[in-house]
Amino acid sequence: MKTDIQTKLKTLFDEKIKNRKAMFIPIAGVAAFMLVGYAGVDHENPEIVSSHIQIPYGEKFDTDAIDVVDNHDSRSELLVEADDDSLDVKQLGTYQVEVRATDQFNNTDVKTIQVDVVDEEAPKLKTLGANDGYYIEVPVYGSQDLSSYIKAVDNVDGDVTPFIESDKQLDTSKQGTQTINVSVSDNSGNTTEEAFKFFIADMQAPEITLKSGSDITVDYGSEFKWQDYVSISDNLDTNIRPKVEETIDTKQLNQQKEMTIIVTDGAGNSSKVTLNATVKDITGPNIVLSTNKVSVDKGSNVDLKSYITSAVDNLDGDMKDKISFNTIDTSTTGVKTVTYTGVDTAGNKSEVQLQVEVTFSGERIVNTGLSKKGCPYVWGSTGPNSFDCSGFTQWVYRQNGIYIPRTSSEQKAAAKKVVSLSELEVGDILWRSGHVGIYIGNGQYVHAPHTGDVVKVSSGVGKFTCGLRYQ
């Protein structure tokens, strides 16, 4: 043991005196100290005072935070070690850590202390995007969600943006400034509060939409209208007129121009597009008809050309005599379509249509029937000089291109429409069981009455049940 003490004293001498160049101490005194040092050796252990310490989440465990005292050595001269293998500073919680303190005379104290890893740092609020100035710029009618402009990040909980609270809602429908007090807390109860200033303004430029792309064709001789090639919309302004740079002479065939359209809203936001315009003949002749619908009698002749008022082409001029059209058959009733077609030198084709309604005239039926007045009634006769009642109606209708059955009952069954007596039109067949006639208007009808009588005009349609119509 004496040897150990002498070794320690020599070491102490080397560290405290020789290594510090304390040459002012007389060598004789040192020798004397070494001789008597044996009697002054430190036998007292250091004392680990700390029983419980806290370290912030994520920080390295530092033994300097442990309070240790010694009867001889200062805190900086003590060797303090800790077995921190079980300690995870990235996980909040309480841990037991064994600490060993050793003084310069190798006296040791060992103690297990409680180490709490705690979160004492509040979340940090920061603005998103390029809003590094005094105000956060927000587009009018933009998102009212604060998370679109502010993010909250915590050292432990990570992104805590969803837990942001505010004293009021951001209103992006009104332009101007707004101050909103924002707070956010982490799971440990650490809270950050901050006031943010928002500047709501129209920052959105008008939108220009190309209707047919940037390469456009302008019709020869036409007026250039930007509305034909682009549409313009803005989030606030409803009536914006663009500025069109450059002009184009549409009377110069094949001329090409770059035309820039610039749109600026009331807030000064601008958009522009460039159109590559070329003048071409792209329109056929303009065919004008005097009407687009006519009605003609069945079997009549129709002068279809007479309905052409004009046909003028933007480049070829008058083309009225070069318009072609189809013919129609008026021998049958119905709506017929006549198509007028014009093709200019450039091959541009134009078409217009005329609807021709071919109708059956009730007056013609009546006139046919009246032409047989005085012809005798002969049962079973179908004309042309004698008739029974249904033979008379069948013959009259056949002369006008309408074929109906022989007997009165069959004629009723074949009618396209059975009408009431109040709906009668000139030329309708009047029907009652066993007898038929032709209505001529004003409550009168022409018919072949019975044996011994002749075809004649009678009054009193109320004797009949209904009217028959075949058109």
The domains of the chain are located at: 2-40, 47-118, 124-201, 207-277, 286-359, 362-469
Element (H, E) at 353: strand 349-359
- Tell me, what's the pLDDT at 143? 94
Average pLDDT, the chain: 91
Q: Specify the higher pLDDT residue, 205 or 41.
A: 205
d(CA 397, CA 360): 10
- Assign 3-state DSSP to the chain and report helix, strand, coil percentages, each to 5: 20, 40, 45
Can you identify the CATH homologous superfamily of domain 286-359?
Immunoglobulins (2.60.40.10)
Q: Does domain 207-277 have CATH number 2.60.40.10?
A: yes
- Tell me, what's the pLDDT at 298? 80
- Tell me, what's the pLDDT at 80? 98
Q: Kindly state the average pLDDT of the residues 215-231.
A: 95
DSSP, collapsed to helix, strand or coil, labels residue 422 as helix
CATH topology of domain 124-201: Immunoglobulin-like (2.60.40)
- Tell me, what's the pLDDT at 21? 41
pLDDT in tens, 99-120: 999 999 999 999 999 999 999 9
- Tell me, what's the pLDDT at 359? 82
Supply the DSSP symbol for 248: -
- Tell me, what's the pLDDT at 361? 79
- The alpha carbon torsion through 173, 177, 179, 184 (nearest 10 deg) reads 60
Q: Give helix then strand counts, H and E, for the chain.
A: 5, 32
CATH topology of domain 362-469: endopeptidase fold (from Nostoc punctiforme) (3.90.1720)
- Tell me, what's the pLDDT at 32? 41
d(CA 402, CA 438): 14
Query: Do 362-469 and 47-118 have the same topology in CATH?
Result: no
d(CA 272, CA 274): 7
- Tell me, what's the pLDDT at 131? 58
pLDDT in tens, 288-330: 999 999 988 888 899 999 999 999 999 999 999 999 999 999 9
* The CATH number of the domain covering residues in 47-118: 2.60.40.10
DSSP, collapsed to helix, strand or coil, labels residue 260 as strand
CB atoms within 10 A of CB 418: 14
d(CA 215, CA 368): 67
Q: Which two tokens stand for residue 211?
A: 């209707």
- Yes or no: say if 261 and 242 are a contact pair by the CB < 8 Å rule: yes
DSSP-derived pairing of the beta strands 215-219 and 270-280: parallel
